[in-house]
Amino acid sequence: MTIYNEMLKRRPDLLPCLFEAVHTDRRGEVPAGQKPWHDIPVFNWYEGTLSALYTRRYIESARRFPRCRR
């Protein structure tokens, strides 16, 4: 949340980027018929509460899939 608050103060123009989905490796937990990664934003508002989900290792390992953007 500190990152969000500092960006809000210093560079609010960049905040929308943190709400864009990023490819995240499912690490083998792939439901039938789904791709081996899912797309999820780092920050998300839900019912008025801000949440954050950032697992760099999973984001970086999703890059091994050819269809994932870098």
Per-residue pLDDT tens digits for 13-49: 999 999 999 999 999 899 999 999 999 999 999 999 9
pLDDT of 39 reads: 93
Query: Which residues form the domain of 47?
Result: 16-28+35-70
| 42: Cβ contacts below 8 Å, ≥ 6 apart | 18, 19, 22, 52, 53, 54
Asked whether residue 3 is assigned to any structural domain, the reply reads no
Please give the Cα distance from 48 to 39 (Å, whole number).
Answer: 22
pTM for the predicted model, two decimal places: 0.75
Asked whether residue 40 is assigned to any structural domain, the reply reads yes
| 19: Cβ contacts below 8 Å, ≥ 6 apart | 41, 42, 43, 44
Asked whether residue 65 is assigned to any structural domain, the reply reads yes
Asked whether residue 57 is assigned to any structural domain, the reply reads yes
Split into its structural domains, the chain has a count of 1
Asked whether residue 62 is assigned to any structural domain, the reply reads yes
